[in-house]
């Protein structure tokens, strides 16, 4: 299985007991990579103590994407390129997309903005059902 990047919507589903088959497969195959801002977005939400524990467990088993200055410059370029094409994306969404692009990984999401990003970039997305 190729690498899989999970966005915030998929992580929220995971914590609500709605993991997808693809997410489960990526966990098992150890091909899941998490964008740091997706983790921060999820962690900033209201969570029960057992959900915070589950997040900690997830972080133990799935690596975070390592970001460099070059990554953040590419995030800025991606946002600028998309804006010029009429697609406005948030910094977290551009970061998540850029992580998947850099890894040539499949982005697992429920957020329609990533489909728009994919129309203008090398981003590959799937919205697997829970």
H-helix or E-strand spanning residue 108: strand 106-108
Residue 47: CATH number of its domain: 3.40.50.1010
Per the structure, how many domains does the chain have?
1
64 strand-pairing partners: 34
Output b/e per residue, 24-46; b: 16+ Cβ within 10 A: eebbeeebbbbbebbbebbeeee
Tens of pLDDT, residues 68-88: 999 999 999 999 999 999 999
* Full domain range(s) for residue 85: 4-126
Condensed to tens digits (0 to 9), the pLDDT of residues 90-114 reads 999 999 999 999 999 999 999 999 9
Q: What percent of the chain has pLDDT over 70?
A: 97
């Amino acid at each position: 299985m190729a690498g899989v990047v999970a966005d915030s919507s998929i992580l929220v589903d995971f914590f609500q007991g709605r993991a997808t088959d693809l997410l489960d497969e990526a966990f098992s195959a150890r091909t899941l990579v998490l964008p740091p801002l997706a983790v921060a977005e999820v962690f900033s939400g209201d969570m029960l103590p057992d959900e915070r524990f589950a997040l900690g467990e997830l972080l133990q088993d799935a690596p975070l994407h390592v970001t460099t200055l070059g990554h953040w410059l590419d995030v800025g370029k991606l946002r600028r390129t998309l804006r010029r094409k009429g697609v406005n994306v948030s910094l977290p969404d551009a970061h998540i997309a850029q992580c998947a692009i850099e890894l040539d990984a499949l982005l697992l999401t429920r957020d329609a903005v990533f489909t728009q990003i994919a129309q203008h970039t090398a981003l590959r997305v799937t919205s697997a059902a829970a």
